[in-house]
Amino acid sequence: MEISRVEALSQRIVQPYAWGNAVWHVWGAGQAAEQGLEGQVADTRSNASKQPLVLLHGGSGSWTHWLRNVEHLAKIRTIWALDIPGFGDSDLPSGVSDADGLVPYVAEILANSFRGDGVDVMGFSFGAMTAGLVAAEYPNLIRQLILVGAPGLGLFSKELPMRGMTPDMDEESQRKVHRHNLNAMMFVHPDSVTDDVIDLQQANVARDRLRRRRVARTDVLAQAQTHWTCPVHGVWGVCDALYQGTLAQVPQVLSSMASFTVVPDAGHWVMFEKPDAFHAAVAPLLSR
């Protein structure tokens, strides 16, 4: 993987708030630079083909969950990938322990970054659930929402065989745990878990400050859909480990979705494992 190369193509934006800093990485940010805004706010009223697309990563992640997607997506949109507060380089607001507590802070970030205009948001896993909750409570901030492998539907069929770390583990043992967990939850193909992917996972997990998340196992997102006013679309990997035996129920539970696309031969981290197929799935949605 080429994290350094891809990151070097971006504009890193640090926004200070009363609760701490929010950190964005932006690709295709020429418009913001030309406005002399240093990326602090975006003009959402420019050419529709370069409208902002906000990316929200999954749990124990950062913008790097979208590593294989940002360059492609930046050809058609200005990409704003946020490190959600409590993950990556963004600070954790005091007292927040899960997605529901993050809602007002993510809403504040979106309102500040895009002048209060509604923008398209694509969220993965924990980020999808968080975005869905924001869309329910702050409908004016999201113009269109794309959910990727979202939890919070009450459809988890069984506990995944995840392994934990112990204080006595050496580096090699820790990497074996990461490899096992990535295979158990994120990917369908074992060869998807390369040493570079383990490096990425290790760096992201080390910066996860919301370790005791529980909301994802409830139906909080299914309940929130009654308050959505924007179009909502779903994209899932056909072999998503979180939805073994229940994937067909997703469009029934999320009946408010305008479309539901299943990407073949892909696991939970669908946009990383099968980027080309994922891009084809979201292309019609991003042309709107």
Cα gap 206→186, rounded to integer Å: 18
pLDDT, tens only, 220-240: 999 999 999 999 999 999 999
Tell me how far CA of residue 233 lies from CA of 136, 198, 265, 277, in angstroms: 15, 30, 20, 16
Q: Most distant CA pair in the chain: distance in Å?
A: 55
User: Quick check: helix, strand or coil at residue 147?
Assistant: strand
Give the per-residue pLDDT at 41. 62
Residues for the chain: how many in total? Answer: 288
Q: What is the mean pLDDT of residues 236-258?
A: 97
Q: Is the pLDDT of residue 146 over 80?
A: yes
This prediction has a pTM of 0.94
Q: What is the mean pLDDT of residues 45-52?
A: 62
Residue-averaged pLDDT of the chain: 93
| Dihedrals phi, psi of 6, to nearest 5 degrees | -65, -40
pLDDT, tens only, 172-216: 999 999 999 999 999 999 999 999 999 999 999 999 999 888 999
Give the per-residue pLDDT at 159. 84
Weakest-pLDDT range from 33-37, 108-112, 190-194, 238-242: 33-37
Closest CA relative to residue 102, chosen from 15, 205, 210:
210
Q: What is the mean pLDDT of residues 19-23?
A: 98
Closest CA relative to residue 152, chosen from 181, 180, 130, 185:
130
Q: Is the pLDDT of residue 44 over 60?
A: no
Is the separation of the CB atoms in 207 and 63 below 8 Å? no
Cα gap 1→67, rounded to integer Å: 8
